[in-house]
């Protein structure tokens, strides 16, 4: 257990440190680009990425994760997986290329066809990243993975910024994505080259295919759950409201995406290895991880909600004022989404991909009708659907997930309650400060609110949540 703990902590340290540097840079670039581009540009990209994201979920048909989770691995299995990935990704590229005109006609946006065909290149590039990435994850080698992600993100962001400043519009976003994928493919094969000839046979890999199939099905259901709001907004509300909504969702989910990407990248192989050490080990790690995730996610996201008016005005400008209320509403729900996204790493890691699959069926059964009904009242109705329906989905899914780990829902809620309470008091203090001490300068007011929020949360944590602070200090010493 000590060896596994040290490997996980090392992985988190490298991944977290490098990602932090990368995200500070890319967030800054993203905010500049948002000021340059128009809402319609983001609306076009959102329309395109709905279909791209759907096909991306099938890019390795879950076999990359199967390579990470399986107990024993031999060269023949890896070659068979590589062969299957080549076939699938080439088919996906062909499908997207052929379907692009029909998708453009569906949205009534002719430019979408060319955008979709350009983005199809990401499937060909994914052929050369899946196996090296899986092998590095299996070894908990996140130092080199983090450096690859860092370099790819920097070059992709610089490409987007340069093209945006040169007035390429939506193509700035497309170009940045393509450059980032290409850099990742090249770097993966420099750092962890896989030069074996693929084997086009599935004999003897039934277990990998079954696990990969469950993971792929879960990905597809997750796509429907996570993209349905964009699809509905694009079809019923139009590209301008979709652009506003997509930017609000992007800002609200940035911490979720970045922290979850770090946590889940390390968590899946770590839970797979922890499961080999005996029952109860994975559950113990899960509770500790939830306490730490909650400690950071609740104040960041609820603070973002509280400071949304000033943040939008200072960072994006007055043309994005309509995004304030959607950002405030969506950010409130994101801590639940972050924890809800993390728990499947534990159930998948112990080989129970079926649990995540069942939970996503529940998520879709509840959220899709909520999005459809909410969208009838426009953009704000769509945001309200998240507030009313997502807590119900969270409670149902956590109850079923925790059962296979030998835990109960009350244990999870107790782990989340102290940071949630401190963050709620912090957000209330920020709103009161805005009313009690009005500051004319919006930029200065934003700085005061952020500083006051951070100070009040730390003070409240010292009073009400010392246990997690001790855990953080202990992890830092290790």
The angle at the Cα of 191, spanning 351 to 275, to the nearest 5 degrees, equals 20
CA distance linking residue 152 with residue 154, whole number of Å: 6
* Residue 411 located in a structural domain: yes
Average pLDDT over residues 66-74: 65
Identify the band that residue 6 occupies on the pLDDT scale cut at 50, 70 and 90. Answer: low
Q: Does residue 90 fall inside a structural domain?
A: yes
**Single residue among 204, 239, 256 that ends a domain in this structure:** 204
User: Are 248 and 295 within one domain?
Assistant: yes
Render pLDDT for 19-54 as a digit per residue (tens, 0 to 9). 666 667 777 787 788 788 887 788 888 888 878 877
Predicted pLDDT of residue 281? 52
What per-residue confidence (pLDDT) applies to 116?
Answer: 92
- Distance CA(334)–CA(323), nearest Å, equals 16
Q: Which of 158, 185, 204 is the last residue of a domain?
A: 204
Residue 254 to residue 3: CA distance in whole angstroms: 32
Using 50, 70 and 90 to split pLDDT, how confident is the model at 11?
Answer: low
What does the block give as tokens for 53? 């994201």
Q: What is the pLDDT, as a whole number, of residue 98?
A: 93
Do 349 and 450 sit in the same domain of this protein? yes
Distance CA 324, CA 382 (A): 14
Give percent above pLDDT 70 in the chain.
79
pLDDT > 70? residue 361: yes
What is the pLDDT confidence band of residue 430, given thresholds at 50, 70 and 90? very high
- Outline where DSSP puts E strands in 64-201: none
Q: pLDDT at position 344, please?
A: 78
Structural domain contains residue 370: yes
Residue 222 in any domain: the answer is: no
Residues in the chain: 478
Q: How many Å apart are CA 45 and CA 242, to the nearest integer?
A: 10
Task: Please report the pLDDT score of residue 453 as a whole number.
Answer: 94
Check pLDDT > 70 for residue 212.
no
Question: Is pLDDT at 10 greater than 60 in this prediction?
Answer: no
- Say whether both 165 and 246 belong to one domain: no
Q: How many CB atoms lie within 10 A of CB 71?
A: 9
pLDDT at site 360: 84
- Which range marks the domain in which residue 49 is found? 1-204
Are 136 and 237 members of one domain? no
Same domain, 200 and 247: no
The pLDDT tens digits for 403-416 are: 877 788 898 899 89
- pLDDT for res 1: 43
Looking at the fold, whether 259 and 143 belong to one and the same domain comes out as: no
Spatial neighbors of 410 by CB under 8 A, at least 6 apart, are none
- The percentage of residues in the chain with a pLDDT greater than 90, rounded to a whole number, is 23
How large is the average pLDDT for residues 310-325?
86
For residue 97, is it within any domain?
A: yes
pLDDT tens track for 215-271: 677 777 777 777 778 777 777 777 677 778 888 888 888 777 666 665 655 555 556
Domain count across the chain:
2
Residue 284 lies in a domain: yes
Q: Are residues 199 and 245 in the same domain?
A: no
Longest dimension (CA), the chain: 71
Residue whose token pair is 């104040």: 299
**Is residue 435 over pLDDT 60?**
yes
Assigned domain for 219 exists: no
Let me know whether 431 and 476 are in one domain.
yes
Domain end call among 136, 169, 204? 204
DSSP secondary structure of 433-457: HHHHS--S-HHHHHHHHHHHHHHHH
| Residue 164 or 198, more confident | 164
pLDDT at 424 over 90: yes
Average pLDDT of the chain? 80
Is pLDDT above 80 for 62? no
Nearest to 143 by CA among 268, 14, 4: 14
> Does any domain span residue 60?
yes
293: nearest Cα among 402, 419, 207: 419
Q: What integer pLDDT is reported at residue 204 of this predicted model? A: 59
The verdict on 177 and 272 lying in the same domain is no
How far apart are alpha carbons 431 and 423 in whole angstroms? 12
Whether 305 shows a pLDDT value over 90: the answer reads yes
Are residues 299 and 395 both part of a single domain? yes
CA quadruple 61, 65, 68, 72: dihedral positive or negative?
Answer: negative
Torsion angle, CA of 56/62/64/65, rounded to 10 degrees? 120
* Residue pLDDT, tens place only, 105-114: 988 888 889 9
Residue 420: name the closest of 360, 332, 348 by CA. 332
Same domain, 236 and 380: yes
At residue 158, the pLDDT reads 92
| Comparison of pLDDT for 147 and 424, the residue scoring more | 424
**pLDDT higher than threshold 50 for residue 2:** no
Question: For position 417, what pLDDT does the model report?
Answer: 93
Q: Is 258 left (phi over 0), alpha (psi -120 to 50) or beta?
A: alpha
Q: Are residues 179 and 327 in the same domain?
A: no
CA distance 93 to 88: 9
């Amino acid at each position: 257990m000590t060896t596994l703990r040290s490997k996980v902590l090392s992985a988190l340290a490298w991944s977290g440190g490098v990602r932090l540097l990368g995200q500070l840079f890319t967030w800054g670039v993203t905010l500049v680009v948002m000021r340059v581009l128009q809402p319609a540009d983001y609306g076009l990209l959102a329309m395109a990425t709905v279909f791209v994201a759907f096909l991306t979920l099938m890019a390795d048909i879950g076999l990359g994760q199967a390579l990470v989770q399986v107990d024993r691995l031999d060269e023949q299995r890896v070659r068979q997986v590589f062969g299957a990935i080549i076939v699938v990704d080439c088919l996906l590229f062909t499908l997207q290329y052929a379907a692009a005109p029909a998708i453009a006609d569906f949205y009534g946006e002719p430019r979408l066809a060319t955008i979709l065909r350009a983005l199809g290149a990401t499937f060909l590039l994914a052929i050369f990243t899946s196996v090296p990435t899986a092998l590095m994850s299996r070894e908990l080698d996140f130092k080199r993975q983090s450096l690859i992600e860092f370099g790819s993100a920097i070059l992709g962001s610089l490409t987007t910024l340069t093209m945006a400043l040169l007035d390429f519009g939506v193509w700035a976003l497309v170009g940045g994505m393509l450059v980032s994928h290409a850099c990742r493919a090249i770097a993966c094969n420099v750092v962890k080259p896989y030069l074996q000839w693929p084997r086009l046979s599935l004999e003897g890999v039934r277990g990998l295919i079954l696990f990969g199939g469950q993971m792929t099905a879960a990905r597809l259901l997750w796509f429907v759950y996570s993209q349905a709001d964009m699809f509905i907004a694009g079809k019923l509300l139009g590209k301008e409201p979709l652009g506003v909504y997509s930017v609000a969702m992007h800002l609200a989910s940035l911490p979720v995406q970045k922290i979850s990407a770090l946590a889940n990248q390390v968590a899946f192989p770590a839970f797979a290895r922890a499961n080999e050490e005996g029952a109860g080990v994975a559950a113990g790690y899960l509770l500790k991880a939830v306490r730490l995730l909650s400690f950071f996610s609740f104040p960041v996201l609820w603070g973002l909600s509280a400071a949304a008016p000033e943040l939008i005005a200072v960072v994006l400008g007055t043309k994005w004022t309509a995004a304030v209320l959607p950002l405030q509403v969506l950010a409130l729900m994101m801590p639940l989404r972050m924890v809800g996204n993390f728990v499947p790493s534990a159930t998948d890691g112990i080989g129970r991909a079926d649990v995540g699959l069942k939970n996503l069926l529940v998520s879709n059964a509840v959220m899709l009708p909520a999005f459809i009904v909410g969208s009838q009242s426009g953009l704000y109705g769509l945001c309200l659907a998240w507030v009313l329906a997502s807590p119900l989905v969270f409670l149902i899914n956590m109850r079923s997930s925790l059962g296979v780990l030998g835990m109960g829902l009350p244990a999870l809620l107790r782990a989340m309650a102290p940071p949630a309470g401190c963050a709620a008091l912090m957000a209330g203090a920020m709103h009161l400060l805005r009313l009690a001490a009005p500051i004319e300068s919006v930029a200065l007011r934003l700085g005061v609110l952020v500083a006051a929020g951070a100070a009040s949360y730390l003070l409240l944590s010292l009073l009400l949540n010392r246990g997690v602070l001790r855990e953080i200090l202990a992890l830092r010493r290790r």
